[in-house]
Amino acid sequence: MEFTKSHGLRGEITVPGDKSISHRAVMFGSIAKGLTEIHNFLQGADCLSTIACFEKMGISIENRGDRVLVQGNGLHGLKKPDCVLDCGNSGTTTRLISGILCAQDFTVTLTGDESIQKRPMKRIMDPLSLMGADITSLQGNGCAPLLIKGGPVHGIHYPSKVASAQVKSAILLAGLYADSPTSVTEPYVSRNHSEIMLDLFGAQVSAEDTTATIQPASELNGAKVMVPGDISSAAYFIAAGLMVPGSQVLIRNVGINPTRDGILRVCQDMGADLQLLNRSEGAGEPTADILVRWGALHGTEIGGAIIPTLIDELPMIAAMACLAEGRTVIRDAAELKVKESNRIAVMVESLRSMGADVTETEDGMIIQGGRPLHGASIDSRGDHRIAMTFAVTALCADGATDIRGADCVTISYPRFYEDLQGLMV
């Protein structure tokens, strides 16, 4: 798919529902008792994989597009599937569902696409095994396919080496079934959508500093979930509005949970013209309209506790830094190496091909901004974040940019290109 330089973006947009929250609403609704009604559910391939997995375990799920209705069977109401559960490209599905499955009374195999079968699962296998779970990597490499033999689990306190919401959530979900409280301590606080939503469904969950704790549950109750716009999807329009000369873009109803709003803080550190309007909060998830206007940006340093709050947005931030004056340093971001692609290596290679001055480091990159960019041929590696990042970056580059594998955006944002085109002046 080919992209060329833009003369500016103008208008307003509403991005799809939050991917993390959509996944969790289906999962928690499936193991709750009664009806869960999900509004603004993300109709992306990853979240549809979660629906498919739970339908294969006997859960009735009605996908009406604007609403998803989940008829939960309770904590112990899942049925043994008659086939392997295919998680597609979704690491969230694979890791979180493992926490639920390890406490069931049946055996199941989890698999996914080629990318999932290379992504590290030992990070959830180890703590779940400490809880008594029986999980085996069938290839012996710590990746999917995973064979999970369900059984009793017990509570633990787990000091996680990584600040990962997927690791934390897998442990907390297993903790619902445990014989004593379960807690996870992280080096930094990762996104807390699971804790917020578990509370909505009636679980006893608490957080103190970087530790989250859950009590064993006898039952969860179905709930109404209003899914805010996904800030990770909004990030591309935030960046486009700031990068493309003459632009002004308003993004409506975006989730601005403090464990996810790192991109807003980084943009402000870079001198961005960015305003939050119409703030509100429902069921613990704050939202706002985000107004951005093009203007001069300058480099910044990004690392430490802010990294978990913007890990998915770092490719777009790196591209934005190429147009900012001065130096930007991204560190403590080694987690980017184990996403759908090695996003550090891919970003460095691809940005250089467009004329940027980027140096790869062990856990991030150093970007000398202010150099003009030109079109190039970009291989998305099947990574939706890479494809969307370079669709936006191409709008600021001389000449044409061709993105191979551009259709991978269906994983999280099926209408991305149409929505981007709709803002073009």
176 vs 173: CA distance, rounded Å: 5
The CA angle 169-174-177, to the nearest 5 degrees, is 140
- Is 327 annotated in a binding site? The answer is no
Check if the beta carbon of residue 275 is closer than 8 Å to that of residue 290.
Answer: yes
- Is 115 annotated in a binding site? The answer is no
- Is 164 annotated in a binding site? The answer is yes
Strand partners, 248: 10, 293
- Is 20 annotated in a binding site? The answer is yes
Cβ atoms within 10 Å, residue 400: 14
- Is 123 annotated in a binding site? The answer is no
Tell me the chain's radius of gyration from C-alpha atoms. 21
103 Cβ neighbours under 8 A, 6+ residues apart: 133, 150, 151, 152, 153, 174, 176, 177, 178
- Is 19 annotated in a binding site? The answer is yes
CB-hemisphere CA count at 13 Å for 407? 0
Strand partners, 292: 249, 274
- Is 352 annotated in a binding site? The answer is no
The residue length of the chain stands at 425
Pairing mode of beta strands 285-293, 248-255: antiparallel
- Is 350 annotated in a binding site? The answer is no
- Catalytic (active site) residue 312: yes
Q: Which of 289, 312, 383, 419 is catalytic?
A: 312
Check if the beta carbon of residue 240 is closer than 8 Å to that of residue 279.
Answer: no
- Is 268 annotated in a binding site? The answer is no
Could you list the residues known to form a binding site for phosphoenolpyruvate, using ranges.
19, 91, 119, 166, 343, 385
Active site residues: 312
Could you list the residues known to form a binding site, using ranges.
19-20, 24, 91, 119, 164, 166, 312, 339, 343, 385
Could you list the residues known to form a binding site for 3-phosphoshikimate, using ranges.
19-20, 24, 164, 166, 312, 339
